[in-house]
C-alpha cells in the first residue's frame, strides 16, 4: 500500500489540519508516513502546500516526484492546478470550486474548471457551501478530507477516530461538527466516482 498526496490551498484554510489527521490515522494503522511542507504558511492567504506520503513499506524521501502523486487535495481550485505536474496519469484531483481570490488577475473560474477537468479524474464542488449547509463554514477542510478519503487506503472509521483525537481538546460540539462535514464530503464524492 502506498499513497502519495499533495495537499494544497492558502493559509488559514486548514490544509495542515488535514495532513495532521491523516498522519494520526496512518500511524494508528501502523503505516509509515513522511510529510514535507514545501511552501510556508506565514500569512493568511499565502500559498500552503504539503507532500504527505503514506505507505506500508519504508519511505525514503519526503517529497513526491513529478508525475507520481496519487492525489491532489485542495481547498482552492487555482492551487490544485498549480500542482497538476506532480499528478500521475491515474491520479485524482479533489478540490473545492470556491476560489480564494488573493491576486488582482485571478483567472475566470470557467477557465480553471476546464483545465482541471482536462486532467482526467476530478472531484470538484463548492466545499465551503457544503460546510455551511451541514456543519459550519470553518469545516470546509473536513468536507475536503471526506471527499478525498475514497482515494486513501485508510478506512473512514479510522479517519473519523483521528478527527476525534485531533479536535478533542476543542469540545464535543466541534468534534461532531467536523465529523458531520467529513461524512457529507465523503457522500458527495460518491456521485463523481460513479461516473
Number of C-beta neighbours around residue 12 at 10 A? 15
Which residue(s) pair with 73 in the sheet?
A: 7, 94
Structure confidence at residue 38 as a pLDDT band (50, 70, 90):
low
Which residue's C-alpha cell is 519526503? 62
Q: Which helix (H) or strand (E) holds 49?
A: strand 47-55
User: pLDDT at residue 174 above 80?
Assistant: yes
- Strand ranges in the chain using DSSP code E only, listed in sequence order: 2-10, 32-39, 47-55, 69-74, 87-96, 121-125
Q: Which residues contact 129 (CB under 8 A, 6 or more apart)?
A: 98
Q: What is the pLDDT of residue 23?
A: 94
Whole-angstrom Cα distance, residue 187 to residue 37?
29
> What is the mean predicted confidence (pLDDT) over 84-91?
95
Per this entry, what is the length of the chain?
Answer: 195
Neighbour-count burial of 85, counting CB atoms closer than 10 A to its CB (0-12 exposed, 13-18 middle, 19+ buried): exposed
Q: What is the pLDDT of residue 121?
A: 93
Q: What is the pLDDT of residue 159?
A: 97
Side-chain-facing half-sphere of 37: CA atoms under 13 Å:
15
pTM, two decimals, is 0.91
Q: How do residues 95-129 score in pLDDT, each as one tens digit?
A: 999 988 877 888 888 999 899 989 889 999 999 99
* Spatial contact of 147 and 116, defined as CB atoms under 8 Å apart: no
Q: What is the pLDDT of residue 39?
A: 56
Q: How do residues 131-155 score in pLDDT, each as one tens digit?
A: 999 988 899 999 999 999 999 999 9
- The end-to-end CA distance of the chain, in Å, is 25
Amino acid at each position: 500500500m502506498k499513497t502519495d498526496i499533495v495537499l494544497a490551498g492558502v493559509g488559514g484554510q486548514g490544509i495542515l489540519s488535514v495532513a495532521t489527521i491523516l498522519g494520526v490515522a496512518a500511524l494508528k494503522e501502523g503505516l509509515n508516513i513522511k510529510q514535507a511542507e514545501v511552501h510556508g504558511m506565514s500569512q493568511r492567504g499565502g500559498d500552503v502546500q504539503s507532500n504527505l506520503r503514506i505507505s506500508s513499506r519504508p519511505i525514503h524521501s519526503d517529497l513526491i516526484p513529478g508525475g507520481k502523486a496519487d492525489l491532489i487535495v485542495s481547498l482552492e481550485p487555482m492551487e490544485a492546478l498549480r500542482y497538476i505536474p506532480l499528478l500521475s496519469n491515474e491520479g485524482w484531483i479533489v478540490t473545492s470550486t470556491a476560489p480564494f481570490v488573493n491576486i488582482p488577475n485571478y483567472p475566470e473560474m470557467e477557465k480553471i474548471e476546464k483545465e482541471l477537468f482536462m486532467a482526467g479524474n476530478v472531484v470538484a464542488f463548492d466545499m465551503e457551501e457544503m460546510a455551511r449547509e451541514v456543519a459550519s463554514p470553518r469545516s470546509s477542510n473536513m468536507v475536503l478530507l471526506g471527499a478525498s478519503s475514497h482515494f486513501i487506503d485508510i478506512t473512514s472509521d479510522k479517519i473519523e477516530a483521528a478527527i476525534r483525537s485531533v479536535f478533542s481538546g476543542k469540545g464535543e460540539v466541534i468534534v461532531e461538527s467536523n465529523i458531520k462535514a467529513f461524512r457529507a464530503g465523503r457522500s458527495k464524492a460518491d456521485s463523481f466516482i460513479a461516473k
